[in-house]
Amino acid sequence: MENFNYHRPATVNAAAALLKKSKDGSYMAGGHTLLPTMKQGLAKPTDIIDLSAIKGFSGIAVSKSAVVIKAGTTHMEVATSAAVKKAIPALWEMAGKIGGVHVRNRGTIGGSIANSDPAADYPSACVGLGATIITDKRKIAADAFFTGMFQTALKAGEIITAVSFPIPKKSSHMKFPNPASRYALTGVFVSQDSAGKVRVAVTGAGPKVFRIADMEAALSKDFAASALNGIQVKAKGLNSDMHATAEYRAHLIGVLARRAVAAAK
């Protein structure tokens, strides 16, 4: 791993200023994506701006209509929050399935989302619940946030500060982990809002998180697993690797979506 300048600012503004000043700086939250990438020599930032000491950067607030999770909140904090469990049990469950104990103790929601790993879990919750990503500059709808593999709508230096998840009527998350990495080989997040509108978001199967319009339309009419019968997910464009072919992933999306709908609460 190449050496770098290390900064630990106390405010978001200071962090943004440090990044701007650096030659090729990078923000770091829990470091569980950045540091492994740097160890492999795949990233060589000149500066690391550690966001973990920013005051008020973590915490969970649950209102009647939304769960707002600040960017520096760890997966473990979400996975052990009784308030999240009550408001959006699927989100609570999903956070408990990310990585192992040690990953959950350090990995943060902001870091996960900013990275837009195609196999990460949080992007499916964001898109599957129609969340809003809040940054130091603006609010971005989750649908517009994840723009590609490891790519987001974040502008240079922009910092995620929180994610707001609207509380659905029902939701559910199903994950089929990669047997080696434990990332999602395919994961499906399903939600139904109070108006009956349904979202089906898929992670792990494509270059980025995506929704399946056919399924959403069918489920908006009839929120039952049987409503998905006959809907074939196309393999074209899905990821194919030694762990899963595109055809298999397409098939898994159908299986997981049906199971998610059946389990939604």
Partner 1 sequence: MSAISMKVNGKAVCGEVESRTLLVDFIRTNLGLTGTHVGCDTSQCGACVVHIGGKAVKSCTTLAVACEGADVTTIEGISKNGALHPMQQAFHEQHGLQCGFCTPGMIMASIDIVKRNGKKVSEEVIRRELSGNICRCTGYHNIVVAVQSAAEKM
Partner 2 sequence: MTDTGIGARVLRKEDKRFITGKGQYTDDINLPHQTYAYFVRSPHAHATIKSINTAKAKKMPGVVDVFTSKEVEEDKIGGLICGWLIHSKDGSPMKAGPHPILASGKVRFVGDQVAVVIAETRAQARAAAEAVSVSYGVLPHNVDAAQAMKTKAQVHDVAADNRVYNWSIGDQAATDAAFKTAVHVTKMDLINNRLIPNAMETRAAIGSYDTGSDHYTLYTTSQNPHVARLVISAFHGLAPEHKLRVIAPDVGGGFGSKIFIYGEEVTCVWASKRIGGRPVKWTADRSEAFLSDAHGRDHVSHAELAMDAAGKIIGLKVHTIASMGAYLSTFSSCVPTYLYATLLSGQYNIPNIYAEVDAVYTNTAPVDAYRGAGRPEATYLLERIVETAARELKMDPVEFRRKNFITSFPHQTPVIFCYDAGDYGAALDKALELSDYKNFASRKAASARNGKLRGVGFSAYIEACGIAPSAAVGSLGAGVGLWESAEVRVNAVGTVEVLTGSHSHGQGHETTFAQLVSEKLGVDINNVAIVHGDTDKVQMGMGTYGSRSGAVGMTAISKALDKIEAKAKRVAAAVMEASVDDVDFKDGTFTVKGTDKKMAFGEVALASYVGHKFNSSEIEIGLKETSFHDPSNFVFPAGVHICEVEVDADTGLTKIASYTAVDDFGTIINPMIVEGQVQGGVAQGIGQALIEGAHYDRESGQLSTGSYMDYNMPRAANMPHIENFKLGFTVTKCPSNPLGMKGCGEAGAIAAPPAVINAITDAIGVRDIAMPATPLTVWQAMQPMKRAAE
Which DSSP symbol is given to 10?
S
Q: Is 211 in the site for partner 1 (CB under 8 A)?
A: no
Indicate the helix (H) or strand (E) that contains 172.
strand 170-177
- Whose Cβ is closer to partner 2: residue 126's or residue 246's? 246
Residue 26 touches partner 1, criterion: CB under 8 A:
no
The residue type at 184: A
Structure tokens at 248: 């298999």
Q: What is the smallest separation between the CB atom of 204 and partner 2, expressed in angstroms?
A: 13
Q: Is 35 helix (H, G, I), strand (E, B) or coil?
A: helix
Contact 126, 109 (CB under 8 A): no
Only one of the segments 21-29, 49-57, 165-173, 237-245 lies at the binding site for partner 2 (rule: CB under 8 A); that segment is 237-245
Select from 244, 253, 257, 261 the one that contacts partner 2 (CB under 8 A): 244
3 state DSSP class of 253: helix
251 binds partner 2 (CB under 8 A): yes
The Cα 45–Cα 35 span in angstroms is: 11
**From 25, 99, 111, 123, residue interacting with partner 1 (rule: CB under 8 A):** 99
Determine, following the binding rule CB under 8 A, whether residue 230 of this chain makes contact with partner 2. no
Binding partner of residue 32 among partner 2, partner 1, none, CB cut-off 5 to 8 Å per kind: partner 1
Residues 6+ positions from 172 with CB-CB distance below 8 Å: 90, 189, 190, 191, 260, 261, 263, 264, 265
Residue 243 interacts, among partner 2, partner 1, none and using kind-specific CB cut-offs from 5 to 8 Å, with: partner 2
Which 140-199 residues touch partner 2, going by CB under 8 A?
176, 179-181
Which residues form the interface with partner 2 (CB under 8 A)? 1, 176, 179-181, 242-245, 248, 251-252, 255
